[in-house]
Chain A
Amino acid sequence: MSPTTLGITGLLVMILLFLTRLPVAHVMAMVGFVGFSLLTSFKGGLNLLAKSYYEVFTSYGLTTIPLFVLMGQLAFNSGISKRLYNTAYCFLGHIRGGLAMATVATCTAFGAVCGSSPATAATMATVGIPEMKRYGYSDKLAAGSVASGGGLGMIMPPSVVLIVYGVLTEQSIGELFMAGIIPALLLTLLFIICIWVQCRMDPTKGPAGERFGTSEKLRSLTGLLDTLIIFVLVIGGMFNGWFTPTEAASVGVLGVLGLGMLKRQLNARLIFKSLYETLGTSCMILFLIAGATVFGKFLAVTRIPFDIASWISGLNLPAIVVMAGIVLIYFLSGCFMDSLALVMLTIPIFFPVVTALGFDPIWFGIIIVLITELGVITPPVGINVYVVYGVSTSIGANIELESIFRGILPFLAAILTGILLMMLFPEIVLFLPHLMY
């Protein structure tokens, strides 16, 4: 069997094994190990396994992941999100659809300290949905804004998906983080416009809430303080060259921990809860990276990624058409698979193609994260939709699953508009990295 045939067989077997509910990380490692052993030697495959797990688990660059996850967990458990929401509510609550806008704005701000999309969605569902129900917001708008807004945490730095992309493709994590800021803000704006349009067309969807005075608005700004301090310290420190990404993440952890303990919002129970959650999530992510490493080595031996790259280059199609095809593949796959797993699985295949076509790797990273952001809200997997459904049921809001899926449709259009804008004007993504680096 030729290496290419074996590679294609490996890919098909892997998809079949995914359907058996075996963990994605383990399947990638198993298929990679068997394929690599067949193409080189059994001993070579065995050595690859031990070395890959050891090197991934003890990689200094990857220590950033558990630290940023811990920072997010501590922020989540110390109630930062509630204070952020109150600030946004004071400024936007009196506008039609203002509570939904406040929810989206809070999601972006919370994303600055927490890189997890489901954690952001769960937090905002708990805080935002009862308020929106109280003011008579439609279920579709309330749940749709929370589920979609939760995804903004994936693009706003620090983002776990961006770190993983940076490690896999050897791109600067600092540049990727910088590149994520304008797209995150643009998407927030598009979501707010989307809410405004919906409420303009049907004012009963999001009636106006109470209006606050200037002094109350100014007082509420203290709710932003914690997040601002942490964000400036972590991201600013990294961009100014004071810290490496790992050090910046540690500063973030110690900052959130210190602030939380100082304000008596964190106790030993909550700290250990955050640590245990971090262990589970980090273990899952690092297993995925180790699995992707083994699988990537197998793919490299088959030369499939390079064959695909040269085949596509030979088609002489306009680069933007190829890119649109890749976007479509990611969009469809994202409906069935978790974003992180999808990135790790497909990067070894698509990254050589994209770089061969002359696209900027930093720009591609942001586009990929944006597309996978669609995956967290689209059926049938759409993790954020299920998180919002679960939280709304547990708090007695009882929003139907169908309403949530319908509610995300306008936001899907907003994300697609954002992706299109960034494809047409790559400077939206590259402006800040070019300015800083």
Chain B
Amino acid sequence: MPQLHTLLTPLETRMKQLGALCILGVALVTGADIVGRLLNTPVFGSEEIVTFLAGLAIGLSMPFAHTRNSHIRVEILMRRFSKATRKRINLVTDSVTFLFFAVVTWRMFEYGASTAGSGVVSMNLELPEHLIIYALAGCFAAFSMSLLRDVLLFFRREGSA
């Protein structure tokens, strides 16, 4: 457990920083394309670069968004329960979420492999699409690890209580 925590915390920070740069990259590439268009030299394949950068930005932000509790939840019933009951329900929901995203991660790697096998490339720049899928699969893996950490934290706290 401490090893997982030591690994994940700096990883999340790095991913968040990279994600931020990707978003900035999206704005800059699109801006450069507009200026380039005015000068008759648009950025070749800008739409593909923007699409991939935005995809990476979202992928890289997954663990951060989870840690800062960005996702929308319906709180209306849970707040009526005692703290202990809430914790137990959270354990179940966290475990289910972890299992679900472990499956998504696995399927993402499979999808990447099948895309690599068929040699799909982007239309203009001919970028191999499977690289982006693998990168996203890696992001999903990091996100799943963050979810696993929450599950393990429950047992650690229960053990020390």
Contact = CB atoms under 8 A, between A and B. Distances in A.
Contacts, number: 161
A17 B116 CA distance: 37
Q: Per DSSP, are chain A's interface residues mostly helix, strand or loop, or mixed?
A: helix
A283 B23 contact: no
Interface in A241-277: 243, 246-247, 250-251, 253-254, 257, 272, 275-276
B50 A63 contact: yes
A342 to B, nearest CB: 10
B145 interface: no
Interface in A58-81: 58-60, 62-63, 66-67, 70
A250 B89 contact: no
B30 A49 contact: no
Q: Per DSSP, are chain B's interface residues mostly helix, strand or loop, or mixed?
A: helix
Interface residues of B, number: 54
B124 to A, nearest CB: 12
| Interface core residue of A54, A281, A338 (most chain B CB under 10 Å) | A54
Contacts of B73: 21-24
Contacts of B104: 49-50, 53
Interface string B98-127: 001001100110110000000000000000
Interface of B: 16, 19-20, 23-24, 26-28, 30-31, 33-34, 47, 50-52, 54-55, 57-62, 64-65, 68, 70-78, 86, 89-90, 92-93, 96-97, 100, 103-104, 107-108, 110-111, 132-133, 136, 140
Interface of A: 18-26, 29-30, 33, 46-47, 49-51, 53-54, 57-60, 62-63, 66-67, 70, 243, 246-247, 250-251, 253-254, 257, 272, 275-276, 278-284, 286-288, 336-338, 340-341, 380-381
23 contacts: A19-B77, A21-B73, A21-B74, A23-B73, A24-B72, A25-B72, A26-B100, A46-B103, A51-B111, A53-B136, A57-B54, A59-B51, A246-B50, A247-B33, A250-B27, A253-B27, A275-B24, A280-B61, A280-B64, A282-B57, A283-B61, A284-B71, A286-B58
